[in-house]
Every structure is written in C-alpha cells, then in structure tokens.
C-alpha cells in the first residue's frame, strides 16, 4: 500500500496548498502581525481509513482539523470533499454537508449544552438532517446510546450527571446521529483518564467498522493513536514533515522531529529503544518561523542548506518526508525495536476478555467507566 496519492476514487478528502493565517494587532501603536497556523498543506485522505495527525501543542493540527470540515475558512488553498471544493459552498449547502462531516471535540463537557438533556442533544442532528417522526427519532437516540455503551434511560439526564468518558461517548453518539461518512476527532481522549482513553479508542475503532466511517484523529501523543491509525502525518510549526503508513513510521521514523517524538514514547520492553536523537531549544514562535527548514534551530542534523531552503514534502520510498538529508539520516538510524508479538495464548485470553467486557451492561451514570466498560 502506498501513501503516495491514493487513486481519485478512493480519496474522500483532499487538501491543496491549504494555508490558514491569523492576524492580531501589535502593541500600543497598532499594526498587525500575521501567524501562519497551517502552511501549504497537501493531503489525500483515503475513504475508510483512520488517518492521524500528530504534533506538539501549537503546531497547527487542531486548526488543520477544523479546516478539513470547514469549521474554519481557509486563507488560501482548497479542501475537496468527494472531489468538490467545499470552500466554494454556500452556508446552506455547507449545512447539508454537515450530515457527512462530523466533529468530536476535545473537551466533552464544554461541547455539550448543559441545559439540554442527553436525549435532546443526540436528537438535534437527527431532527436537522432527517425526516424521521418523533417516535422514530427517540428510537434512534436509544439505539445510539446503546451503540456507545450507555443505557437508553440516560437520555433523560443532563451532561453534568456523567463522567468524562461517558460525556465523550455522548459526544460520539451525537456525531453519529446524522449518519456521517467522516468523523474528525480533535484529541478526543486527551482530556480523559488513561484507563478511559483505551475504552474510548476501542469504541471509536468498533464504530468505525460498524458504520463504515473514515476517521481523522488529532493527537499530540504518538502512543495514543499507535494501534488504530492506518497512516500518520506528523506536523511541526504548521507544516507536514512526515507522512507514512503506521508500521513504517513506528519502525523507522525518518524525519528528525518524528524520531524525537518517538523517543518520548515510554515503552515497557526489554528491547528498549535504540534511537539517540534529542530535541534542543524551544519551539520557535509561529510569529517569526525560521527560514529554510522550520525545524533547523532544533535539529541535530542541520546544515547550511537547511537554514536557507525549505525542504519540500517529497517521496522517500513508501512515505513522504520534508528533509534535505533524509537519506543520510535513514542510513545512520537503526530501526526502533518493536514490542514482541503477543503469544497465541495471550491473544486468546485477550479475545475472551474483550468479549466478556463487551457483554457487561452499564449500570448507572455514577458507575465508573472502569467497572462498566472493557479495558485494554
């Protein structure tokens, strides 16, 4: 499978030279400064895949996620959904398209109206996008609550009566209500406890298969999206620096920034980690990004050309990398030792555990997620 431009029929979302700039006033004496949060991004997202975008806080990944579903207008460039440029659509056309493109926010509490019951919150998009009768809508709400592992009786309660993980399940049920083709999750688990993160990730994986979804996930932690991504794009200061299939990226990251992110993943393995790349310095200000390669002030491999010439995101085998020296770096970087595969016995125990936990019925809103849902 190549990462390089899937065939047109397989692409569900494409971006072309996508750029988003924000301006703000400068000091007491006026004037404006422009910040390029997303700079010249070209991506093709394949129908049915899980595509993840990772990077440090402030790298522009959340802005990019919002641009993909036009929650923000682009400053330059285009976003194509099923071949049509969505920046050209009127508000009314865009409202119709919202049925297909849904968003799950990072903070499940602030994204749900506290004055609406859970039932009303999930029913709202069904009302807007379908012609179902009241009783059909109610049935659909009950069905969606069950799908996300919550009791249909919870429809009469309010968001504040639920735990963080349960609220995120409600957010996911609401996103599913219109029958979308694409769900964009902006750090959907980063506000949750670690034990709950795994449950919500598993839920997203299961729903993706059941509803034939394309998932676009935003994350700052490579460990979180490791097991569910088909392809991963790494962002640094508004630009994509590496785009690779999951295995290739985790086995042998090529861009020095990706290598540094990998080093930050804690692993419990006797094989350890053999890479020796550390980041120095702070992330430069996006108000004045460095010339040439934006990563050069922190890069241990930087040379003169890196300070003057921006490296294009170019083909590097079965992936794309924005680095002048990726071949040299690749030759000198050993593969990352991978976690040893689970034994057949362990796989069987894991499958049994999964099946058993799925059968457990949630009890009340006060029940902890750990007791109610499966844990991996």
Minimum CB separation of residue 293 from ligand SF4 in Å reads: 3
Q: Interface with ligand SF4 by CB under 6 A: which range of 22-30, 31-39, 195-203, 318-326?
A: 318-326
Least Cβ distance, residue 37 to ligand SF4 (angstroms): 20
Contact flag: residue 11 with ligand SF4 (CB under 6 A):
no
State yes or no: residue 254 binds ligand SF4 (CB under 6 A).
no
> What minimum distance in Å lies between the beta carbon of 176 and ligand SF4?
40
C-alpha to C-alpha distance for 342 and 308, rounded to whole angstroms: 47
Residues 179-238 that bind ligand SF4 (CB under 6 A): none
| Strand bridging mode 101-104 / 182-186 | parallel
Residues in contact with 83: Cβ distance below 8 Å, sequence separation at least 6, in sequence order? 8, 11
* Residue 311 in the binding site for ligand SF4 (CB under 6 A): yes
Would strands 50-54 and 231-236 be described as parallel, antiparallel, or unpaired? parallel
Residue 293 binds ligand SF4 (CB under 6 A):
yes
CB of 324 to ligand SF4, least distance (A): 4
Q: Does 306 bind ligand SF4 (CB under 6 A)?
A: yes
- What is the distance, to the nearest Å, from the Cα of residue 172 to the centroid of all Cα atoms in its chain? 14
**One symbol per residue from 324 to 353: x for binding ligand SF4 (CB under 6 A), - otherwise; what is it?**
xx----------------------------
Cα dist. 211→70, 79, 170, 206, 248 in Å? 23, 24, 17, 9, 28
Asked if 299 is part of the footprint of ligand SF4 (rule: CB under 6 A), the reply reads yes
SS (H, E, C) 278-333: CCCCCCCCCCCCCCCCCCHHHCCCCCHHHHHCCCCCEEECCEEECCCCHHHHHHHC
Question: Applying CB under 6 A, does 296 fall inside the site for ligand SF4?
Answer: yes
Name the residues that contact ligand SF4, by CB under 6 A: 255-256, 293, 295-296, 299, 301-302, 306, 311, 323-325
């Amino acid at each position: 499978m190549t990462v390089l431009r899937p065939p047109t029929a397989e692409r569900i979302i494409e971006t072309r030279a996508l750029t988003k700039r924000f301006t703000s006033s400068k000091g007491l004496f006026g004037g404006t400064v422009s910040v390029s949060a997303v700079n010249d991004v070209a991506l093709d997202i394949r129908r049915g895949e899980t595509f993840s975008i990772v990077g440090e806080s402030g790298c522009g990944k959340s802005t990019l996620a919002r641009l993909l579903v036009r929650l923000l207008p682009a400053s330059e460039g285009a976003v194509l959904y099923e071949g049509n440029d969505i920046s050209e659509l009127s508000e009314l056309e865009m409202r119709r398209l919202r049925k297909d493109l849904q968003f799950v926010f990072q903070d499940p509490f602030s994204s749900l109206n506290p004055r609406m019951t859970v039932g009303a919150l999930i029913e709202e998009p069904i009302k807007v996008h379908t012609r179902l009768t009241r009783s059909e809508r109610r049935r659909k709400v009950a069905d969606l609550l069950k799908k996300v592992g919550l009791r249909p009786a919870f429809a009469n309660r309010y968001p504040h009566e639920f735990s963080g993980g349960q609220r995120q399940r409600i957010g996911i049920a609401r996103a599913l209500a219109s029958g979308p083709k694409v769900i964009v999750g902006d750090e959907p688990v980063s506000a949750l406890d670690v034990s709950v993160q795994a449950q919500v990730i598993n839920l997203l994986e299961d729903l993706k298969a059941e509803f034939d979804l394309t998932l676009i996930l935003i994350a700052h932690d490579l460990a979180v999206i490791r097991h569910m991504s088909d392809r991963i794009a790494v962002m640094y200061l508004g630009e994509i620096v590496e785009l690779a299939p999951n295995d290739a990226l985790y086995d042998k990251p090529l861009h020095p920034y990706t290598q540094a992110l990998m080093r930050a993943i804690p692993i419990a393995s006797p094989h350890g980690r053999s890479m020796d790349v550390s980041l120095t310095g702070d992330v430069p200000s996006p108000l004045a990004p460095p010339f040439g390669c934006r990563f050069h002030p922190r890069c241990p491999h930087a040379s003169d050309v890196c300070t003057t010439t921006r490296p294009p995101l170019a083909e590097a085998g079965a992936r794309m990398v924005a680095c002048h020296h990726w071949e040299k770096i690749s030759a000198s970087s050993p593969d990352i030792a991978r976690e040893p595969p689970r034994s057949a016995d362990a796989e069987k125990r894991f499958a049994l555990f999964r099946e058993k936990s799925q059968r457990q019925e949630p009890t009340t809103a006060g029940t902890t997620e750990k007791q109610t849902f499966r844990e991996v």
